[in-house]
Structure 1
């Protein structure tokens, strides 16, 4: 009985993580006596989340064969479709001169589309039996594409943001380097330096370490998402509309990714590449350059994408069994 319960938890780790994150936040929200503790913990959690993302990538990169990193055909088509979706949203806003709540809704959708492929997509892809090297390559490509699209598109729809192309480009590129390049260099050093050889062998043989680190970070992100929703100044109906649009968009991007991948024998990789977004980054760019309510979109998107990931992992486990 205990073995079945542990197996169930492993298959639904992401859903369990989201449930714990939501439960803890609601506990602090509805019990005022815990307010002093929440004030002290808030900055700690804000600093822990980037650390988790760093460790996830470091552990993942330690398992990557960097000699196999190369561009493949599905990389190109996935990037083309992401750019195409971005062009539709931005073009629609400009052509029809959309304003008000409709603009906020479209900005929320845009934040979910334009966001780069999640660093954890490589973790989930590895869990599903996909090609880690192809996903790692696309993660770099997606972040560079994001660094180009955001400075071009955001000033067009929010001219008052005061963002110039080069300042935004360099700012985003700097964040990309900190998130991707630094853990990659450390992983290379861990592989190459003889004093770290034993640690490296231990690290790569810890099963699903990066996946469970992602589960821990997901608890924090879920709590942050609920905080954005509970403190929103809009009506519940509009928030539900944003959440539902995020669900439709999530299903669309996964479906298009799977369809692209079928032509190249890489449905797992392409589906995760287009569907699984770095929502923490998307929330950051929306909060800084778009309407504050547009952060609710990527906040809800993370729930939808991890439900899909959990279903995929469950199906993978069932099929393997």
Structure 2
């Protein structure tokens, strides 16, 4: 029972730790090399399925009539645009190339990435508004759809993409992994109520599904860092600046949210990023090394999430 309680209380750190350990075992034990080659495409296939299920379960709990834009959505979006603009201005003004450009691209990926689909899960866990967070997740994703085709060709001259081709490709990803589970949840909620009751009756189901997906994403992140063709100085710089950026985005989001009594929601909206999506964009449109940025960011944001969940659990225990 103590072990189960420990796993429930520290799901995120345990998931990250397990993902790291499992990858390192398979990577550095020669006898498991063939098994690792077999399992890699399997994990790449089931990760989108986990994300789909997480969103489906989350949307089953959403009151769709309350999914409306509110004040903090606008201001968080403005600051997100401001941060993107600052990075773009620095790159274009100083004409960065080589490692400096890779560093700035890595940071850009941590800013331009949309709000994580799991942000609504964390917000609900912390007692925030599920509907407001879900609405902003949609807004953030469509903002990214517009920003990427404009920004990437400006900083990565080798990125042979047109606005419409990039827009269509990213829009397809957003619709597949965000809109489809929402529509399915809406149909189940209104036309298959027996299944809907079973889904919502399982407490924290989306949170534990997220824990499983986090284990896979962490393993993939460690793999990308281990195999990155870069100096330790560059990798360290990306990691440390990613940490600073993560803290800034969470802090600015919470600052904005205080004016609307939604500090938790705004903090998650600006700070918690869809790093898996960011890694895909880096590989598709920029240099693969830029994916190390969101790869490190996933560690920092989930440390912050773990601390927030621990504080909420402690506060609830005191009130009880």
**Aligned counterpart for 1:76 among listed residues 71, 74, 77:** 74
1:169 to 167, 170, 193: 167
Contact 1:17 1:218 in 2 (8 A): yes
Q: Secondary structure at the match of 1:161?
A: coil
1-structure distance, mates of 2:254, 2:266:
6
Aligned pair partner of 1:16 in 14, 37, 43: 14
Normalization by structure 1: what TM-score?
Answer: 0.97
Instruction: Tell me how far apart the structure 1 counterparts of residues 230 and 253 of structure 2 sit (CA, whole Å).
Output: 33
Counterpart position of 1:298: 294
Q: Do the aligned partners of 1:11 and 1:310 also contact (CA within 8 Å) in 2?
A: no
The equivalent of 1:262 in structure 2 is: 258
Counterparts of 1:114 and 1:197, CA distance in 2: 38
| Residue number in structure 1 paired with 2:278 | 282
Q: Which structure 2 residue ranges, 5 or more long, are not aligned?
A: none
**Gap regions ≥5 residues in structure 1:** none
| Shift >2 Å, 4+ stretches | 5-9
User: For the residues of structure 1 that align with 2:236 and 2:46, how far apart are their CA atoms?
Assistant: 30
CA shift at 1:9, angstroms? 2.4
RMSD, aligned CA: 0.8
**Equivalent residue, structure 2, for 1:53:** 51
Q: Per the alignment, in what secondary structure is the counterpart of residue 222 of structure 1? A: helix
- Equivalent residue number for residue 203 of structure 2: 207
Contact 2:72 2:257 in 1 (8 A): yes
1:112 to 103, 110, 113: 110
Pairwise CA distance, 1:53: 0.2
TM superposition shift of 1:293: 0.9
Given candidates 129, 142, 145, the residue that maps to 1:144 is: 142
For residues 270-312 of structure 1, the C-alpha deviation after alignment (integer angstroms, 9 at most, x for no partner) is: 0000000000000010111112211101001001100110110
1:99-138 superposed matches below 5 A: 99-138=97-136
User: Matched residue pairs, number?
Assistant: 317
Contact 2:27/2:36 (8 A) holds in 1: no
| 1:237 CA displacement | 2.1
- Give the deviation of 1:11 after TM superposition: 2.1
Q: What's the offset of the Cα at 1:39?
A: 0.7
TM-score normalised by structure 2 residue count: 0.98
CA distance in 1 between counterparts of 2:35 and 2:106 reads 32
Give CA-to-partner distance per residue, 1:243-264, whole Å, 9 cap, x none.
Answer: 1111101000000000000010
Distance in 1 between the 2:37 and 2:94 partners? 44
Most deviating of 90-99 and 62-71: 90-99
- Residue number in structure 1 paired with 2:24: 26
Q: Is the 8 A contact 2:80 2:270 kept in 1?
A: yes
| Residue number in structure 2 paired with 1:94 | 92
Aligned to 1:181: 179
- After superposition, residues 212-291 of structure 1 pair within 5 angstroms as 212-291=208-287
* Cα contact 1:135–1:269 (8 A) shared by 2: yes
